[in-house]
Amino acid sequence: MKNQFVKQIAKAHHASSCNSNGGFTATELLVVIILIGVISAIAAPGWLGYLERRRLTAAQDEIYQALLNAQVKAQQTASIYGVAVREQGDQVEWSPYASSPSTAAVWESFHPSIRIDQTTDVASTPVSGVDVYYLGFDYEGNVANDNEGKGITLSTDTGSDIKRRVAAETILGNLRKSKD
């Protein structure tokens, strides 16, 4: 009898320890969710700023490479080549051109948040009602259209002061990238 009673107690104790509810309490879950929210709120502005700088740098690199290619092509073909940049609607687009910015045919777009900054000081011409900014090179690879020392400046529509610029530093066509 005593032995049977001990077995029942042991069996009841074992059953109660196996049937206990596992997991987290509502309070623990709430604390974890609040911590994740606070960490996200701290990290989000930095992440968005990083993305903005990265997009601007990528756009700057595209223009820089396009200008280098135009300069080489101008020397190879002994004619005028350059790069045109315009704002078409809500998009900034660029295109290589031969002889005149109005001959630019295939336009490539940047990220929708990229804008042409007001400090862009290269020559511009209206083409189909849109101002087209252009930087070209003559048959020797020198800067054409009195654009030496001038450049194309890009910014974003987020209201930050982050800017990226590609400029033709000298009449010989030396290109330079700069920021802010």
Q: Is residue 122 in some structural domain? A: yes
Q: Is residue 18 in some structural domain? A: no
| Domain coverage including residue 88 | 26-179
- Compute the radius of gyration of the chain from its Cα atoms: 31
How many domains does the chain contain in total?
1
What is the model's pLDDT at position 114? 95
Q: What is the pTM of this model?
A: 0.78
What is the model's pLDDT at position 153? 92
Question: Per the structure block, which two tokens stand in for 121?
Answer: 């000081």
What is the model's pLDDT at position 171? 85
List the CATH number of the domain containing 97: 3.55.40.10
- Strands of 74-117 (E only): list them: 81-88, 91-98, 108-109, 114-116
Q: Measured in whole angstroms, how far is the alpha carbon of residue 49 from the centre of its chain?
A: 10
Q: Is residue 99 in some structural domain? A: yes
One digit per residue, the tens of pLDDT, for the chain of length 180 reads 666 766 777 676 555 555 556 788 999 999 999 999 999 999 999 999 999 999 999 999 999 999 999 999 999 999 999 999 999 888 999 999 988 888 888 999 999 999 999 888 888 877 778 888 989 999 999 998 788 888 899 999 988 889 999 999 888 889 999 988
Best CA proximity match to 123, nearest among 96, 150, 156? 150
